[in-house]
Structure 1
Amino acid sequence: MKRIDGTVAFITGASSGIGAALAEEFARRGADVVLAARRARRLEEVAERVRGHGRRALAVSCDVTRDGDLEAAVAQGLSAFGRLDWVVANAGFGVAGAMHKLQIEDVRRQFETNVFGVLRTFYAAREALLASRGCLAIMGSVSGELAFPKGGPYSMSKFAVRALAQVLWYELGRKGVDVTLIEPGFVESEIRQVDNLGVHDPERPDTMPRWLRARADVAARKMVRAIVRRRRKVVVTGHGRLAVMLERLAPGLVAWLVRRYGGRFGR
């Protein structure tokens, strides 16, 4: 395990799921962590787990859909720790439903978090990243390589951030900043318990079979390894890598399978 002592990670969407697991993994490797998300109480719980690894943690309540929140969060992180080396634009959720049953506002809401939230994170942290010659990690998805029925807005948003990550990798690399695109498959998280308005309902059943969901801590370990190694892209979970490979090698077969079976687990 490569140690990253003396560095600082900034993570959005850090109050649960992948974001919380990433915070602990960065701490396990020696980084201090700035945790950003809307739910202050949950953030502080994650911060305590980070401190349990012997690292410093700062919990900052913010909303990636609000202009100014990320700038304030980054400023607090810099004030507390003096630098940012690893910035993970992780906050996101999924609007579900057949496109012909959704409204334009559903798609706009999806992009406000999953695309503009990533942009707000980047713009708020860009000077700090340039100063540290750090790494920006963008949370994409296998759905950014292959769209699925009842997941149109989500796939659209993840296709968009895949393009953004590619452009930023070209542009920032010449300035010493690396960009890592993370594309997970199905991972244990609250995303399938969040409705189309972005509201979490802990009573909502997760329709994804448990055997398909990777543990968040296992996924986070692979993600952080890719980030600290400054890899350009990493696809996490075996089924995710298989889906991406098949889409490239046998797109006709994948299209037939997705049309026939792809909507089975949608809300």
Structure 2
Amino acid sequence: MSSVLITGASKGIGRAIAVELAGRGHRVVATARRPEALDDLPVDQRLRLDVTDDNSVRQAIHAAGDIDVLVSNAGETVRAPLESVPLAEVERLFRLNTVGALRVAQGVLPAMRARGSGHLVFVSSVQGRLVLPMIGPYGASKWALEALAETLAIETGHFGVKVSIVQPGAVSSGGAERAPTFLADDGPYAPLYRQLGALRGEAVTPEEVAASVADTIENPAPPLRVAVGAPAERMLRARKAAPETEPFLAVDLDW
């Protein structure tokens, strides 16, 4: 079984991944900014790790010991039109969702490369390949994450390191409900925001995402990209088939 470090394991998808992997017999190192939120997880180690802080990442990786697999899951989202979203929020998402993921990957890669084996698993989204209105900053951070992950796959594959990008659609993890929203009830984008639920599509559970992540880790030849659930597969197929000459949206708008 593998030794797996998971970022953002205190709730939602990350917590479900920790439970799933522990149940399959893997050695799980669960991390979060607030390690006390990990106390009830049935894992081998519970560590503090803030992906936006160099020292925190170094300390957690040192404490974790040998790491076969990194599951880079920590991330947040926001709801706002690009016309008025606070730029500080956009920068925050990129620090967490994109640069933070790279920071932890940089921390574990030297040992993986020297050992000649390892697996980086990035929890992305269908929004790493397509866009949804009112969630643009999150989508942009995931597009950037996927560019970094694919580059890592090319750069590190020679050293025996595998890279996988897991792409769920909407997930019933509570993340959308916790997202900061910057939108006036009577603002010009309010009618569009009210359609956001339909735009996000049918939700899968955190447990479904966790099972897909675990299957990917246990696959001896994992694919680079893994769509999670039929809704995600449909959206990504439609995006691939759509012409590049105009914006793509998975459903029609009525506003």
Given the alignment, which residue of 18, 21, 32 partners 1:26?
Answer: 21
* Corresponding residue of 1:86: 69
User: Is this contact kept in 1: 2:4–2:71, CA < 8 A?
Assistant: yes
Give the C-alpha shift of residue 238 in structure 1: 0.9
- 1:72 aligned onto 2:72: no
Distance 1:195 1:254 in 2: 25
Given the alignment, which residue of 131, 136, 147 partners 1:147?
Answer: 131
Give the C-alpha shift of residue 101 in structure 1: 1.3
The code of the aligned residue for 1:182 comes to V
* Corresponding residue of 1:53: none
* Corresponding residue of 1:218: 208
User: Is this contact kept in 2: 1:93–1:114, CA < 8 A?
Assistant: yes
Point out where structure 2 has 5 or more consecutive residues left out of the alignment: 182-195
Distance 1:189 1:145 in 2: 21
Distance 1:160 1:186 in 2: 19
User: What TM-score, normalized by structure 2, do the two folds share?
Assistant: 0.85
Give the C-alpha shift of residue 254 in structure 1: 7.6
User: What TM-score, normalized by structure 1, do the two folds share?
Assistant: 0.82
Give the C-alpha shift of residue 104 in structure 1: 1.7
RMSD, matched Cα: 2.3
Distance 2:210 2:85 in 1: 32
The code of the aligned residue for 2:248 comes to A
After superposition, the C-alpha distances for 1:42-99 in whole angstroms (9 at most, x for unaligned) are: 21122xx33xxxxxx1111121112211111110001xxxx11110110000022000
Determine what percentage of the aligned residue pairs are the same residue: 31
Aligned residues: 236
Q: Structure 1's 77 and 243: CA in aligned 2 closer, same or farther, altered over 3 A?
A: same
Give the C-alpha shift of residue 132 in structure 1: 5.9
User: Is this contact kept in 2: 1:11–1:34, CA < 8 A?
Assistant: yes
Given the alignment, which residue of 100, 104, 108 partners 2:91?
Answer: 108
Q: Which runs of 4+ in 1 moved over 4 A?
A: 207-211, 251-254, 256-259
User: Is this contact kept in 2: 1:149–1:259, CA < 8 A?
Assistant: no
Distance 1:69 1:29 in 2: 28
Give the C-alpha shift of residue 31 in structure 1: 1.0
Distance 1:103 1:15 in 2: 27
Q: Structure 1's 139 and 211: CA in aligned 2 closer, same or farther, altered over 3 A?
A: closer
Given the alignment, which residue of 214, 217, 220 partners 1:227?
Answer: 217
